[in-house]
Amino acid sequence: MLGTLTQAAAARRILDEVDNRTDALIGVLTDWSAINSGSRNLYGLLRMEKAIVAHAATLGAEVSYVDLPDTEMVESNGRVANVPNGRAIRLIKRGTANRRVLLTGHTDTVFPENSAFQKAEFLSETHLNGPGVADMKGGILVMLSALEAFEKSPYANQLGWEVLLSPDEETGSLASAGLLAERARTAHIGLTYEPALADGTLAGERKGNGNYTLVVEGRAAHAGRDFDKGRNAVVALASLIGEFADLTGGRPGITVNPAVITGGTATNVVPDHAQCRINVRLARPEDAEWLEDRFDEILGLWNAREGYRVHLHGGINRPPKILTPANLALMELIRDCGADLGFEVRYVPTGGCCEGNNLAAAGLPNVDTLGVRGGNIHSADEYMLTDSLPERIRLSALILMAIADGRLDGYIERGAGG
């Protein structure tokens, strides 16, 4: 790939310069990791936003912000509350170019404001441990650094790009889903910066994801004096959980995972409330309708019982990511770019979900694990392999140059969104 670019010598020179900034970039990442930007920590997310925008100032992009809507959350008492989500960041340059790339990522982490895990430190010369170093403050740094290298290249004016960073990916992108779909429809190619696996493997096809809260309302009564007058919501929920879990495998790849249960008040009271938070995964888009129909059947039978009311909140928030011909062509281009840089790019299907699902659902071919190599994400053992920072910057910079040089024009000519 590199040797066949029309400006190969200039491209090689720019890629060779990336290593010169590695130490400084690790310093930036260490500072970013010390900013707690857990989902819905609005103050921390605002601090993270300011740090990113300041770092990106050299790109000369147009900067704007999009306030996201509140989303609903079912509280432990069954009441539905509105939850604020902050705002998304948009950086745009040459937005009307004939070739347009959308680069996405998220500023939030899974670590709440009161987490004990608040700073980065080296576990060894090659392992940096810290909140968000891999997922995905390291990825954002790869993205912005690759754009900086690309903007120095002779290909810069041949490609328009937009960076979209959301503050709610770790909670399912519920508030940013509409914005992701809108911006996906204006682009030709999507690049997302979730971390790669430690060995460099990237995600290919992805399952879809849904999150639900199953709420059961029964009838309270004294557990000794009036037991027969009560309707035990906890017992009903236990039966319902079994019925929902039995849907696992009803179609290939479907899993239903009841995960968090609450209910009841005191042992001498027949409980009138219980609920369970449930995650589902599905392999094909049409599985969603099948699953929803089965849920409706179960709820209908329970709501026909005297003394019970059953509600199901939530839905499928990320459809499955299916690989289209355009997506396969992008994956092959990235494989060729990796080979030119001296490493093999492999892809594996995964049950995990990310913004790549949202982009694919909007028709945008994308690869969504272009961030740093690392592991143990979503835990206090999260780490990034430091040598992957320059490696992945070079990879993304070369991908951008190849797209700008026309290597995917056969798909881009079909229109925005693939």
> How far apart, in whole angstroms, are the C-alpha atoms of residue 321 and residue 356?
7
Instruction: Give the SS3 label for residue 205.
Output: strand
Angle CA 26–21–333, to nearest 5? 95
> How far apart, in whole angstroms, are the C-alpha atoms of residue 408 and residue 406?
6
Helices 22-33, 137-151: crossing angle, 10 deg rounding: 140
Pure H helices in 103-154: 137-151
> How far apart, in whole angstroms, are the C-alpha atoms of residue 140 and residue 118?
18
> How far apart, in whole angstroms, are the C-alpha atoms of residue 261 and residue 301?
21
Annotation marks residue 108 as catalytic: yes
Q: What is the DSSP letter of 228?
A: G
Cis peptide before 48 (omega within 30 of 0): no
> How far apart, in whole angstroms, are the C-alpha atoms of residue 210 and residue 277?
11
The catalytically annotated residue of 49, 108, 162, 391 is: 108
The catalytically annotated residue of 49, 135, 151, 169 is: 169
The DSSP secondary structure of 298-365, one letter per residue, reads HHHHHHTSTT-EEEEEEEEEE--BPPPHHHHHHHHHHHHHHHHTTS---EEEES---HHHHHHHTT--
Residue 124, number of CB atoms within 10 A of its CB: 10
Positions annotated as catalytic residues are 108, 169
